[in-house]
Structure 1
Amino acid sequence: MVLLKTKETKTEENIDSFFIQTAAKTNQPFQEMMFSTIRMLMDTMDKTEKPYSGKTPLQIKEMLEQPDLYSYRGETWETVLEDVRRYAVEPAIKVQHPACMAHLQCPVVNPSIAAELILSTLNQSMDSWDQSPAATYLEDRLVKWMIELAGLPETGDGVFTSGGTQSNYMGLQLARDTWCQRILGHSVQANGMPPEAERFRILCSEDAHFTVKKSAVQLGLGEQAVTTIKTNNNKEIDGQSCLSTVKELKKEGLLPIAIVATAGTTDFGSIDSLMEIADIAEAEGMWYHIDAAYGGGLLFSEKHKKRLAGIERADSVTIDFHKMLFQPVSCGIFLVKEAGSLTINSQKADYLSPTEDEECGMLHLVDKSVQTSRRFDALKLWMTLRQIGIGTVGEWLENIIEVTNELHAEMTRHEAFETVLKPSISTLVFRYIPQNDMPEIIVDQLNRSIKNELFYEGQAVLSKTKLQSKQFLKITLLHPDTNFHKGKQVLEAIIQKGKTLEEKWRGEEIYG
Structure 2
Amino acid sequence: MVLLKTKETKTEDNLNSFFIQTDAKRNQSFQEMMFSTIKMLTDTLDKTEEPYSGKTPLQIKEMLEQPDLYSFRGETWETVLEDVRRYAVEPAIKVQHPACMAHLQCPVVNPSIAAELILSTLNQSMDSWDQSPAATYLEDRLVKWMIELTGLPETGDGVFTSGGTQSNYMGLQLARDNWCQKKLGHSVKTKGLPKEAERFRILCSEDAHFTVKKSAVQLGLGEQAVTTIKTNNNKEIDGQGCLSTVKELKKDGLLPIAIVATAGTTDFGSIDSLMEIADIAAAEGLWFHIDAAYGGGLLFSDQHKKRLTGIERADSVTIDFHKMLFQPVSCGIFLVKEAGSLTVNSQQADYLSPTEDEECGMLHLVDKSVQTSRRFDALKLWMTLRQIGIRTLGEWIEQIIDLTKKLHDEIAQKQAFELALAPSISTLVFRYIPETEIPETMVDQLNRSIKNELFYEGQAVLSKTKVHNKQFLKITLLHPGANFHNGKQVLEAIIQKGQTLEEKWRGEEIYG
Q: TM-score when scaled to structure 1?
A: 0.97
1:197-216 aligned at under 5 Å gives the runs 197-216=197-216
Residue 89 of structure 1 corresponds to 89
SS of residue paired to 1:352? coil
Aligned: 1:306 with 2:306: yes
Residue 290 of structure 1 corresponds to 290
Residue 379 of structure 1 corresponds to 379
The question of whether the paired residues in 2 share the 8 Å contact of 1:322 and 1:328 is answered with yes
Residue 6 of structure 1 corresponds to none
The question of whether the paired residues in 1 share the 8 Å contact of 2:418 and 2:430 is answered with yes
**Deviation per CA, 1:64-106, whole angstroms, max 9, x where unpaired?**
1115455555211001111111100000000000000000000
Deviates more, 1:67-76 or 1:258-267: 67-76
Letter of the aligned partner of 1:342 in structure 2?
Answer: L
Counterpart Cα distance in 2 of 1:462 and 1:438: 24
Residue 34 of structure 1 corresponds to 34
Cα distance, 1:251 vs structure 2: 1.1
Letter of the aligned partner of 2:89 in structure 1?
Answer: V
Counterpart Cα distance in 1 of 2:339 and 2:68: 49
The question of whether the paired residues in 2 share the 8 Å contact of 1:179 and 1:257 is answered with yes
The question of whether the paired residues in 1 share the 8 Å contact of 2:238 and 2:277 is answered with no
SS of residue paired to 1:61? helix
Letter of the aligned partner of 1:323 in structure 2?
Answer: K
Residue 80 of structure 2 corresponds to 80
Cα distance, 1:398 vs structure 2: 0.2
The question of whether the paired residues in 2 share the 8 Å contact of 1:444 and 1:472 is answered with yes
Cα distance, 1:23 vs structure 2: 3.0
Counterpart Cα distance in 2 of 1:67 and 1:261: 49
Counterpart Cα distance in 1 of 2:231 and 2:117: 44
Cα distance, 1:252 vs structure 2: 1.1
Letter of the aligned partner of 1:114 in structure 2?
Answer: A
1:189/1:257 CA distance change after superposition, 3 Å: same
Residue 272 of structure 1 corresponds to 272
Counterpart Cα distance in 1 of 2:339 and 2:14: 49
Residue 503 of structure 1 corresponds to 503
Counterpart Cα distance in 2 of 1:119 and 1:69: 28
Letter of the aligned partner of 1:198 in structure 2?
Answer: E
1:59-458 aligned at under 5 Å gives the runs 59-66=59-66, 68-71=68-71, 73-458=73-458
What runs of 5+ residues in structure 1 fail to find an aligned partner?
1-9
Counterpart Cα distance in 2 of 1:11 and 1:363: 38
1:72/1:55 CA distance change after superposition, 3 Å: closer
Residue 459 of structure 2 corresponds to 459
The question of whether the paired residues in 2 share the 8 Å contact of 1:11 and 1:75 is answered with no
Cα distance, 1:17 vs structure 2: 1.3
**Deviation per CA, 1:329-351, whole angstroms, max 9, x where unpaired?**
00000000000000000000000
The question of whether the paired residues in 2 share the 8 Å contact of 1:160 and 1:331 is answered with yes
Counterpart Cα distance in 2 of 1:69 and 1:155: 53
Cα distance, 1:25 vs structure 2: 2.3
The question of whether the paired residues in 2 share the 8 Å contact of 1:258 and 1:281 is answered with yes
**Deviation per CA, 1:430-472, whole angstroms, max 9, x where unpaired?**
0000011111111111000100110001100000001111100
Aligned: 1:483 with 2:483: yes
- Alignment coverage as a number of residue pairs: 503
Residue 5 of structure 2 corresponds to none
The question of whether the paired residues in 2 share the 8 Å contact of 1:314 and 1:337 is answered with yes
Residue 7 of structure 2 corresponds to none
Counterpart Cα distance in 2 of 1:80 and 1:13: 20
The question of whether the paired residues in 1 share the 8 Å contact of 2:420 and 2:467 is answered with no
The question of whether the paired residues in 2 share the 8 Å contact of 1:11 and 1:74 is answered with no
Cα distance, 1:248 vs structure 2: 1.0
SS of residue paired to 1:202? strand
SS of residue paired to 2:25? coil
1:415/1:278 CA distance change after superposition, 3 Å: same
Cα distance, 1:386 vs structure 2: 0.8
Residue 494 of structure 2 corresponds to 494
Cα distance, 1:16 vs structure 2: 1.9
SS of residue paired to 1:430? strand
Counterpart Cα distance in 1 of 2:157 and 2:129: 17
* RMSD of aligned alpha carbons: 1.2
The runs of 4+ residues in structure 1 deviating greater than 4 Å are 10-13, 69-73
SS of residue paired to 1:228? strand
**Deviation per CA, 1:233-252, whole angstroms, max 9, x where unpaired?**
11101321210110111111
The question of whether the paired residues in 1 share the 8 Å contact of 2:16 and 2:26 is answered with no
The question of whether the paired residues in 2 share the 8 Å contact of 1:125 and 1:131 is answered with yes
1:433/1:190 CA distance change after superposition, 3 Å: same
Residue 43 of structure 1 corresponds to 43
Deviates more, 1:17-26 or 1:462-471: 17-26
The question of whether the paired residues in 2 share the 8 Å contact of 1:96 and 1:107 is answered with yes
Counterpart Cα distance in 2 of 1:113 and 1:94: 15
Letter of the aligned partner of 2:374 in structure 1?
Answer: R
The question of whether the paired residues in 2 share the 8 Å contact of 1:203 and 1:256 is answered with yes
SS of residue paired to 1:204? strand
SS of residue paired to 2:26? coil
Cα distance, 1:26 vs structure 2: 3.5
The question of whether the paired residues in 1 share the 8 Å contact of 2:16 and 2:27 is answered with no
1:11/1:100 CA distance change after superposition, 3 Å: farther
Q: TM-score when scaled to structure 2?
A: 0.97
Identity of aligned residues (%): 88
Counterpart Cα distance in 1 of 2:186 and 2:280: 24
The question of whether the paired residues in 2 share the 8 Å contact of 1:115 and 1:380 is answered with yes
Letter of the aligned partner of 1:329 in structure 2?
Answer: V
SS of residue paired to 2:411? helix
1:167/1:413 CA distance change after superposition, 3 Å: same
The question of whether the paired residues in 2 share the 8 Å contact of 1:11 and 1:73 is answered with no
SS of residue paired to 1:14? helix
The question of whether the paired residues in 2 share the 8 Å contact of 1:124 and 1:132 is answered with yes
Letter of the aligned partner of 2:186 in structure 1?
Answer: H
Counterpart Cα distance in 1 of 2:481 and 2:24: 42
SS of residue paired to 1:236? coil
Counterpart Cα distance in 2 of 1:143 and 1:97: 32
**Deviation per CA, 1:348-371, whole angstroms, max 9, x where unpaired?**
000000010011000000000000
